[in-house]
Amino acid sequence: MDDLRERLANRVQLTSDDHRAYLEAVEGAFGGDVDYAQLVKIYGESPDSFKGRYSPAECIGAEKRRIEGSPDPKHISTSFAERMNLSMRMHMRRFTRLTNAFSKKVENHVHSLALFTTYYNFVRVHKTLRMSPAMAAGVSDRLWDIGDIVKLVEATETKPAKRGPYKKREAA
């Protein structure tokens, strides 16, 4: 949340689910300088036909809760975050449990996420925008291709430090 706060120039409306950790995190990062609400989903029993090892309960409703400031009730939604999570899971199987691509090393996970984020924002044309998000935001004046990402990675790679010749141990 601190990182998010540092990237924002203006007051924003923020919506989260009802995970308790968000209450303290949002308060710690934004104080009272945010319009914050929670969307609390209400779950019921899953029908027998849907019951399985990983089947979620059926969502039967949602409650909007104002937490801080004056959030606009029409814009209290977690849909954008949920859609982004789905896009990541569909493009990177390492976010999907029970697959052999599931990340076991944090470092590999971070690299994969960075590549996906760059691709998603600079290379992929979004149907609603008819351009990449980077172009829509004015960050890039052209559509990138995969070669641009490869060049970016190559330019930021660090070469291993050169080691000097090994010194012989002196006899004791």
Count CB neighbours of 51 within 10 A: 10
C-alpha span between 129 and 138 (Å, rounded) = 13
- Average pLDDT of span 52-76: 88
Q: Is the pLDDT of residue 6 over 90?
A: yes
pLDDT digits (tens, 9 = 90+) for 94-121: 777 677 776 678 888 888 889 999 999 9
pLDDT at res. 1: 94
Quick one: which of 150, 141, 144 has its CA closest to 124?
Answer: 144
- Average pLDDT of span 4-17: 94
Phi, psi of 35, rounded to the nearest 5 degrees = -100, 105
Q: Where are the domains of the chain?
A: 2-77, 80-156
Count CB neighbours of 83 within 10 A: 10
Total-model pTM = 0.67
C-alpha span between 136 and 121 (Å, rounded) = 10
Both tokens of 14, joined, read 């923020």
